[in-house]
Amino acid sequence: MRHFMTDKTKPVSIRLAKSEIDQLHARAYTLSASITGVARDLIRTGLAGGDNRALADRLMLIERRLVALEQQDQEISAVVQSIDRTARDLLAMFEALLKALTGESTGRAA
């Protein structure tokens, strides 16, 4: 895909309702930009796949990915909890074995 800025440009004339022109004026004022610049950016965004349907499709895909990540997070959390319990059990057994080997459980001095 070629970059817009390196291509030669040609003027385009479009007709808009007064309310749409007012919206362009308001947006241009908010952005401290020209009306032509705002219109050009809106058109380029639409041409680059920024239309509502494409955005809705992307949002749906993102939502599906988030759901999948949440499920993976829950699975990983369960595994981590299981590993934590196992590690605590092993530590308790190790401490009991250490006490038994050092004679602390029978009261003998080491």
pLDDT value of position 107: 54
Residue 21: partners with Cβ closer than 8 Å, 6 or more residues away: 35
Work out the percent of the chain whose per-residue pLDDT is above 90: 63
User: For the whole model, what pTM was predicted?
Assistant: 0.42
What SS3 state is found at 60? helix
Helix then strand then coil, in percent of the chain rounded to 5, is 70, 0, 30
Mean pLDDT split into 10-residue runs, the chain, 110 residues: 66 92 94 92 80 82 95 96 98 95 66
Residue 77's pLDDT is what? 96
Q: What pLDDT is attached to residue 106?
A: 56
What pLDDT digit, counting tens, does each position of 55-72 carry? 788 889 999 999 999 999
pLDDT of residue 20: 93
